[in-house]
């Protein structure tokens, strides 16, 4: 964090100094060269604090942490987000269909899993309202092997 603060402070102070110097120098014919020089000085000023960055420590930290484990953690997090997103979409769609059929119930939760081949499997649905009517529609739409439970507020 200190390195970033130093880089920002250096960039701001160099930009301010270069803007003042550019206003003082009245020569128009050397404008391009002066701007190029000022840009070079600004880049040097911004990159100077970053040379304190310890690349060896970063590499060592990367090697001690198992990259394969990190990739597996990222894949698991992505799969979880995908399942949650699909679950919310399915809940919204099922509730819309139940509303269209004037069923006095709503789907509150689904147990969604994505198989290796990409297919979506729903094992369980929790509904509130008239469970009997909801069960008839959900079994018709999602299959007879779906386990339907009553939604309990926590």
Strands of the chain, DSSP E: 105-114, 120-129, 147-150
Query: What is the CA 31 to chain-centroid distance, rounded?
Result: 45
For the chain, the C-alpha Rg in angstroms (whole number) is: 31
The per-residue pLDDT for 127 is 92
Asked if 84 and 53 count as a contact pair (C-beta separation under 8 A), the reply is no
Structure tokens at 107: 């789907």
- DSSP letter, residue 49: G
pLDDT bracket for residue 154 (50, 70, 90): low
| 11-20, 39-48, 73-82, 125-134, range with greatest mean pLDDT | 125-134
**Mean pLDDT of the region 45-59:** 62
**Mean pLDDT of the region 30-52:** 68
Instruction: Tell how strand 120-129 and strand 147-150 pair up.
Output: parallel
- Residue 67 predicted with pLDDT over 60: no
Query: pLDDT tens across 76-135, in order?
Result: 787 788 888 888 888 898 999 999 989 899 999 988 888 888 788 888 999 998 888 888
- Residue 58 predicted with pLDDT over 60: no
- DSSP letter, residue 124: E
Main-chain phi, psi angles of 128, to 5 degrees: -115, 155
- Residue 66 predicted with pLDDT over 60: no
* Distance in angstroms (rounded) separating the CA atoms of residues 136 and 91: 16
User: Is the pTM for the entire model greater than 0.75?
Assistant: no
Contacts of 94 (CB under 8 A, 6+ apart): 107, 110, 125, 138, 141
β partners of residue 126:
109, 149
Of all residues in the chain, the percent with pLDDT exceeding 90 is 6
Cβ atoms < 10 Å from Cβ of 107? 24
């Amino acid at each position: 964090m200190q390195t970033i603060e130093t880089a920002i402070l250096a960039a701001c102070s160099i930009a301010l100094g270069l803007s003042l110097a550019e206003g003082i120098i009245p020569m128009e014919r050397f404008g391009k060269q002066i701007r190029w020089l000022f840009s070079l000085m600004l880049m040097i000023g911004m990159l100077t604090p970053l040379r304190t960055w310890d690349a060896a420590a970063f590499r060592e930290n990367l090697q001690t942490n198992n990259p394969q484990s990190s990739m597996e953690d990222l894949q698991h997090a992505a799969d979880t987000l995908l399942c949650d997103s699909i679950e919310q979409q399915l809940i919204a769609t099922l509730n819309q269909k139940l509303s269209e059929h004037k069923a006095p119930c709503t789907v509150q939760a689904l147990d969604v899993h994505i198989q290796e081949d990409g297919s979506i499997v729903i094992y369980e649905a929790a509904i509130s309202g008239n469970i009997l009517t909801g069960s008839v529609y959900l079994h018709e739409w999602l299959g007879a092997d779906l386990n339907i439970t009553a939604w309990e507020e926590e």
